Structure 1
Amino acid sequence: MPALALSLFAITLYALASHQLATRPFGARPDSRTWLLPAVPAVVLHAALHLVAWRLLGGPDLHFFAAMSLVGLGMAALTTLLGPAQRIEALGIFVFPLASLVLAAYAVFGGGQPREDLGWPLKLHALLALLAYSTLAVATLIAIMLWFQERALRQRQLGAWQRILPPLTQVETLLFRSLGAAFALLSLTLLTGVVFVDDLFAQGLGHKTVLSILSWIVLALLLFGRWRWGWRGPRAAKLTLVAMALLLLAFFGSKYVYELVLQRA
């Protein structure tokens, strides 16, 4: 019951932070950061709930709803930490409700059962994977933001909502910085998987490994295309969405089938 109450409190704080961002007067100064007052404790509570659950279970809980909640936590933490400095706090309008949704699912449906310690190598691999998913998810939201912003500029349909966004060139720079970070984290995830996981193409991991590698290739192609041919705009956004879709299928698609459909760990 205390965990459920804390989850509801964190969800309420997320909703308040999102509401403050969505209703902030257009033209408000970028240094107006009252939304951080509910956002920071929401992220801290979200993280604390997982840490307590891990302690009770005797190790990290990476079952379907727990993993979804952890990715939502990562997205919320990145938005809270980087939003004020990079002027991408507008992402919180979408990230915080998403974090609330996955936290609610985790609170209602719970995580896994007590398990033996995985050891630090596999914990490191899992942590890098979750960070890669979170960073790429944030990059995907930025890509969608860039896509709509560029489309509005081309059609000269400049709505008031654009005032809360950074300039187009800054959004594009933030996108490729996020993609670079996601690519580095995914590279480390694959590397630690090769080093620490026994036979990545066995244990039902084959499709997961192949899809993750395909996502890595798409990101590598996008970053190379940006460096070599100056790829940008809709092309960059589309390839970002493809990379994210592949990674979602690799991790959460397989988890959904194994854990919720087949009822296997």
Structure 2
Amino acid sequence: MQALPLALMAFILYVAAASWQALALARRVPPRNALVRGFGTLGLLCHLPLAVGLLDKGDSLLPGFSTSVVLAGALAVLVLLVVSLFKPVLNVATGLFPLAGVVLLLAVEWPSPEKASGMTPGIALHALSSALAFALLAIAAVQAILLGVQNQALRHHHIRGVVQSLPPLTTMERVLFELIWAGMILLTLAIASGFVFVDNMFAQHLVHKTVLSLAAWVIFAALLVGHHRLGWRGMRAVRWTLGGYMMLLLAYFGSKFVLEVLLARP
């Protein structure tokens, strides 16, 4: 199987889906949710074999940087496609789909030297819950960006264009906090299973991930408490969501990027 042509096909399909959704947001074309999901699903079908194939390269327990981002991208796309069947979150595809395609192209030309092998059930639970938490909170982060755009536009009385195509502000906020709640449950499971099943969570190369993951958990927990107790919403919710997700992004990929890319160490 030629990896690059398949990655290019996935990228083109993702961009096609994202472009149509973006044009629909701009009210240039009619909404076609089935079309966007169809292109996204075809892109994912091209994406998944490459993601699985990258795991067959190398000899270590945990996947390397490029393999990790490709797997996370595939899972985020899959979660978005499923959640969009029940919640109005398909607009997130405008940002998520192209990003998944770009990291796939980069990873095909720059594979990790490591693979995930010999996972115990406990480690598998930790890895799966971590990946699902990352995917859900990635969707929440893009949802927060759209909510921020909508909030600012309404504040300045700009009610045409993208704002007209988005769901009502209250719906956008409700979906955002539903995504954060679901992501927090999975993130809690990931952290707890890590302490139980991963030997020495504060060991070298894991201490940064552990501390930053806990910091992200605290930020999201504070946001949920603030929303429930103090009525936090609007731009404050957007900022806290993006801050928590940036912390999680650093936790999941920051140390891998430094070690494997900047320092060129496997």
TM-score by length of 2: 0.91
Q: Please state how far the C-alpha of 1:112 moved relative to its aligned partner.
A: 2.6
**Equivalent residue number for residue 42 of structure 1:** 43
Measured in 1, the distance between the counterparts of 2:157 and 2:31 equals 24
Q: Please state how far the C-alpha of 1:64 moved relative to its aligned partner.
A: 0.8
Is 1:171 the counterpart of 2:172? The answer is yes
CA contact (8 A) 2:23 2:29 kept: no
Q: Please state how far the C-alpha of 1:2 moved relative to its aligned partner.
A: 1.6
How many pairs were matched up? Answer: 265
Give the residue type in structure 2 aligned to 1:17: A
Measured in 2, the distance between the counterparts of 1:50 and 1:123 equals 17
SS at match of 1:86: coil
Q: Please state how far the C-alpha of 1:243 moved relative to its aligned partner.
A: 0.7
Measured in 2, the distance between the counterparts of 1:162 and 1:114 equals 44
**Equivalent residue number for residue 6 of structure 2:** 6
**Equivalent residue number for residue 238 of structure 1:** 239
Q: Please state how far the C-alpha of 1:83 moved relative to its aligned partner.
A: 2.4
Encode CA deviations 1:58-117: one digit per residue, 9 max, x unaligned.
888621111112222222222222224322222111111111111111111112345642
**Structure 2 matches for 1:1-265, cutoff 5 A?**
2-24=2-24, 26=27, 32-55=33-56, 62-113=63-114, 116-265=117-266
Measured in 2, the distance between the counterparts of 1:32 and 1:242 equals 30
Measured in 2, the distance between the counterparts of 1:99 and 1:185 equals 21
Q: Please state how far the C-alpha of 1:233 moved relative to its aligned partner.
A: 0.7
Measured in 2, the distance between the counterparts of 1:162 and 1:133 equals 27
Runs of 4+ in 1 over 6 A off after TM superposition: 58-61
Give the residue type in structure 1 aligned to 2:194: G
Pairwise CA RMSD = 2.2
- The unaligned stretches of length 5 or more in structure 2 are none
Measured in 2, the distance between the counterparts of 1:58 and 1:5 equals 26
Q: Quick check: 101-110 or 33-42, which moved more?
A: 33-42
Measured in 2, the distance between the counterparts of 1:139 and 1:118 equals 29
Measured in 1, the distance between the counterparts of 2:87 and 2:94 equals 15
CA contact (8 A) 2:64 2:115 kept: no
Q: Please state how far the C-alpha of 1:128 moved relative to its aligned partner.
A: 1.4
Q: Are residues 237 and 32 of structure 1, via their aligned partners in 2, closer, same or farther at CA, if it must alter by over 3 Å?
A: closer
Q: Quick check: 225-234 or 119-128, which moved more?
A: 119-128
Give the residue type in structure 1 aligned to 2:99: L
Measured in 2, the distance between the counterparts of 1:71 and 1:114 equals 14
Encode CA deviations 1:108-135: one digit per residue, 9 max, x unaligned.
1112345642323222212211211111
CA contact (8 A) 1:10 1:46 kept: yes
Give the residue type in structure 2 aligned to 1:11: F
CA contact (8 A) 2:63 2:114 kept: no
CA contact (8 A) 1:71 1:134 kept: yes
SS at match of 2:34: coil
Q: Quick check: 122-131 or 107-116, which moved more?
A: 107-116
CA contact (8 A) 1:147 1:237 kept: yes
TM-score by length of 1: 0.91
- The unaligned stretches of length 5 or more in structure 1 are none
Measured in 2, the distance between the counterparts of 1:224 and 1:100 equals 35
Q: Please state how far the C-alpha of 1:238 moved relative to its aligned partner.
A: 0.9
CA contact (8 A) 2:151 2:169 kept: yes
SS at match of 1:9: helix
SS at match of 1:8: helix
Identical counterparts, % of pairs: 34
Give the residue type in structure 1 aligned to 2:80: T
Q: Please state how far the C-alpha of 1:31 moved relative to its aligned partner.
A: 6.4
Give the residue type in structure 2 aligned to 1:216: W
CA contact (8 A) 1:61 1:111 kept: no
Measured in 2, the distance between the counterparts of 1:172 and 1:114 equals 39
CA contact (8 A) 2:55 2:116 kept: no
